Amino acid sequence: MPGHLSDIGFDLKTQEDFEQLAIKTCQEGQPYRTADGTYIKWSPGFGIELWAQLDRADEIIGLHPHFHRNGRMRVNIVEKIMRPNSTILDAAYYGWSNPSDGGTEDGDFPFVFDVPNDKIQEPRWGSIAVVQLAAFAHELESYSSVEEFDRSQVEGLRYASKSFIPAGLFTPESGDTVPPEAYANFAGHVLETSLIRNPATATDFCWAHVSTLGGEVDVVADPVLLNNVIVKGGVVKGSFWLSGVVIEG
């Protein structure tokens, strides 16, 4: 079944597969020790990242996938989000995309992204940062051009070919999600794309560097999600989980 790990070429079938992947990450990765525990980052290649979490007794407590490539978004990072089921090394950041230089709570839209390495380099709250943002597909549609995308929207709500809805902030009944989740629905223009083979598993996945409202994002997807091949100059639209790392700020 497609999931966040299969979006970057780790096609796991059982809980034992997941546990073995966490162990391999700890064996192959680079440790980053903090006062609250240890992150271990394994980078098999091509932008694929797995971040294992160890508590202060060096027991594995989490595993966070990420994909680090070309996507960049300026974000006014307002606050940290913690959830009831989070580990001590988990975190999500709430902020505004593409803010004005004044650094107030404004921008194109508010949204939340999960963070694989929070304790290593926490940003200053209320500061403007550059975030490398990866979008792991839950659903994905691909169109060969903006014109084809526009023609596909014949009924109901019409999306611009560059649009972004922070779906993790709201319930289906239009109430607030508390705490907010790192989910979004967006459409964007494909700047670059390729089929990548995960060197650790020899399993393929799709990657696209996408320009959307607010900035640029790295989209990754299990190929079984695609209705059509992603093409440079085309449009993708779908629902995603967002993972981000602060690279400036």
Over range 130-145, report the average pLDDT. Answer: 97
pLDDT above 90 covers a percentage of the chain that reads 83
Q: What is the pLDDT of residue 248?
A: 78
**Distant-in-sequence, close-in-space partners of 237: CB < 8 Å, separation ≥ 6:** 140, 141, 143, 149, 159, 185, 186, 187, 188
For the residues 200-206, what does the mean pLDDT come to? 97
Taking 60 as the threshold, does the pLDDT of residue 71 lie above it?
yes
Which two structure tokens, joined as six digits, stand for 157?
């709500």
106 vs 81: which has the higher pLDDT: 81
Q: What is the pLDDT of residue 172?
A: 60
What is the pLDDT, as a whole number, of residue 122?
79
Separation between Cα atoms, residue 112 and residue 120, nearest integer Å: 19
Q: Where are the alpha helices (DSSP H) in the chain?
A: 15-28, 146-152
pLDDT at position 65 is 98
Residue 1 pLDDT exceeds 70: no
Q: Model confidence at 102, in pLDDT bands (50, 70, 90)?
A: low
Q: What is the pTM of this model?
A: 0.95
Pairing of strands 183-198, 110-114: unpaired
Please report, for residues 90, 109, 170, 203, the alpha-carbon distance to residue 167 in angstroms, rounded to integers and kept in the order given.
20, 11, 6, 30
- Per-residue pLDDT at 103: 55
What is the model's pLDDT at position 243?
Answer: 98
> Can you give the pLDDT at residue 104?
61
Predicted local distance difference test score (pLDDT) of residue 25: 98
Return the closest-CA partner of residue 242 out of 103, 104, 46, 109. Answer: 109
What value does the mean pLDDT take over residues 190-210?
A: 98
pLDDT of residue 110: 95
> Pick from 188, 115, 184: which is nearest to 146 by CA?
188
Q: Which of 57-61, 118-122, 169-173, 241-245 has the lowest mean pLDDT?
A: 169-173
pLDDT value, residue 157:
78
| % residues pLDDT > 70 (the chain) | 95
Stretch 22-50: mean pLDDT: 97
- Tell me: the pLDDT tens digits for 149-169? 999 987 777 899 999 999 999
CB count in 10 Å sphere of residue 18: 14
Q: Where does the pLDDT of residue 101 fall: very low under 50, low under 70, confident under 90, or very high at 90 and above?
A: confident
Phi/psi at 101 (5° precision): -70, -15
Mean pLDDT of the chain: 93
